[in-house]
Structure 1
Amino acid sequence: MSPAVTRRVTVVTAVHGPSAAFLPEAHKSLTAQELPAGWEWHWVIREDGRTDEVRPYVPDDARVTFRQGRPGGPGMARTMALAHAEGEYVKTLDADDQLAPGTLARDVAVLEAHPAVGWTTSRVLDLLPDGSTVGFPYDPAEGPVERGAVLDFWAAHDFRAQVHPATLCVRRDLLLGLGGWMALPASEDTGLLLALNSVSRGWFSAEVGLLYRKWEGQMTGQPSHVDPAERAARMAVVEARARALASFGWSCPPAATQ
């Protein structure tokens, strides 16, 4: 009898010095995940830079790969980490966040059961400094997210999507086909989300999939993130890319196979 083939979800994390101290908590949330028989996870951590600040916090775990490289922002770090992504699916996990129990198993179950779904998202709870959590009151219903739905909602709600890009789990070939994360100083994950939704149906899980940490050092809390001129430019590029992809009529999987 031949041995069973192990299938893999690659979890990709970009990290820089200020967020490195949260890596052990992210790792704890990963080790608590229970995947179906025959599945495993591999965690690729990529430092956005080459310093001595991150390595001391990288867990001593054979399932973890740590790499460094010249700084270029979290989008570039995640995209470079794809060089070590060998599984069918790629899951995003920011260094300062935590996966909720059962998240990876739910992602895998959806993508395995629905070949026409290219990506999944899930409910998020903001994790506040005092340990309390706050949910988003406008989550969509559990189930498919049709092509174009995220862009329509985002454009009508001050550039805020109804599903959270920090919870993405994506088919690896689709992610590579879109070039990974956008080359932006911020909102690179939102840009990817809208691009994905332009060419593929998604899925939203109403069960909590992520604890999204709110803290003073997070990049989205810095003044530069909300600078009006830069924000307008980022959003313009994100929207133009999504609309261009939609106009080409591409789909994943190809329409003939759906």
Structure 2
Amino acid sequence: MPRRVTVVTAVHAPSARFLPDAYESLREQRLPDGWEWQWLVQEDGHSDGVRPYLPDDARLSFRQGRPGGPGVARTIALARADGAYVKVLDADDRLTPGALARDLAVLEADRTIGWTTSRTLDLLPDGSTAGFPGDPDEGPVERGAVLRHWKEHGFRAQVHPASLCVRRDLLTALGGWMALPASEDTGLLLALNAVSRGWFTGEAGLLYRKWEGQVTGHAAHTDPAERNARMAVAEARARALADLGWAFPAGDPRPAVSFT
């Protein structure tokens, strides 16, 4: 029986028009022999604006639910996940060719790696792309390294959470994405790295679309009071996990990077 990677997409009506591009990038992925993908699309709310953009593909499962933000939508979608790994693909983003195969190669080769991320390029409205400054070297991201970098660089992680691929058992053990109005993916990334090693792939794996309606462009996203609260609770969660001494895999003797 084929092994499966679950691709999770949260969507709301304004971003639904980009779903065909996301699907095309997923359909073009070439997985190793014996592997297949399933696509879980979860609408954040109930509208008539999403279904028309969904393809007719048996590998797709679409549901709707009470609005609560992308973190809630992704987490509730996990009820339908049966893949060993969970890959994030936001509705307005695109995977690059080979992205899933590269994630699987890392996770299958090393049980001590709990999650992967990859180089991410901004996809601009004119179709051009632009890279992020300061990408790390390809290789492992040791426990605690993300929080330390995030604190030292103005709450900006060195790896992009939108490119995450993670072991499903580890993701569910941490409760999925954080219950925050934004930065829920960064909060998950910090928690993952508090308990497990990760991996950064230097080859671009995601095109991160920039467009006028995206949530991160709204004024509320940069409201100082809310932003400070989001950062505080995300940091507190990561520090508490580290202080409890839980590590993935169990008994991993590698010391964490100090982030004090």
Q: For the superposition of Structure 1 and Structure 2, which TM-score range results when normalised by the shorter chain?
A: over 0.9
**Matched residue, 1:67:** 63
**Matched residue, 2:257:** none
Mapped pair 1:43 → 2:17: no
Structure 2 unaligned regions, length at least 5 = 255-260
1:250 paired residue among 215, 221, 246: 246
Cα deviation 1:18-64 (Å, max 9, x = unaligned): 00000000000001100000000000000000111111111111110
Alignment of 1:195-234 (within 5 A): 195-234=191-230
Letter of the 1:152 partner, please give it.
R
Mapped pair 1:149 → 2:145: yes
Structure 1 unaligned regions, length at least 5 = none
- The CA deviation at 1:256 is 5.3
SS at match of 2:10: strand
Letter of the 1:63 partner, please give it.
R
SS at match of 1:255: coil
- The CA deviation at 1:244 is 0.5
TM, length-normalised to structure 1: 0.97
Q: How many percent of aligned residue pairs carry the same amino acid?
A: 74
Mapped pair 1:100 → 2:96: yes
**Matched residue, 2:24:** 28
TM, length-normalised to structure 2: 0.96
SS at match of 1:190: helix
Distance in structure 1 (CA, Å) of the matches to 2:112 and 2:200: 14
Distance in structure 1 (CA, Å) of the matches to 2:243 and 2:135: 27
Distance in structure 1 (CA, Å) of the matches to 2:179 and 2:137: 31
Mapped pair 1:185 → 2:181: yes
Distance in structure 1 (CA, Å) of the matches to 2:166 and 2:191: 12
Letter of the 1:98 partner, please give it.
R
TM-aligned CA distance change 1:97 to 1:191, over 3 Å: same
**Matched residue, 1:167:** 163
**Aligned-residue RMSD, C-alpha:** 0.9
Cα deviation 1:203-238 (Å, max 9, x = unaligned): 000000000000010000100000011000000000
Distance in structure 1 (CA, Å) of the matches to 2:55 and 2:162: 21
Distance in structure 1 (CA, Å) of the matches to 2:74 and 2:111: 25
**Matched residue, 1:138:** 134
SS at match of 2:189: helix
SS at match of 1:240: helix
**Matched residue, 1:120:** 116
SS at match of 1:96: coil
Cα deviation 1:158-210 (Å, max 9, x = unaligned): 10000000000000000000000000000000000000000000000000000
Distance in structure 2 (CA, Å) of the matches to 1:230 and 1:157: 19
Aligned residues: 254
Mapped pair 1:88 → 2:84: yes
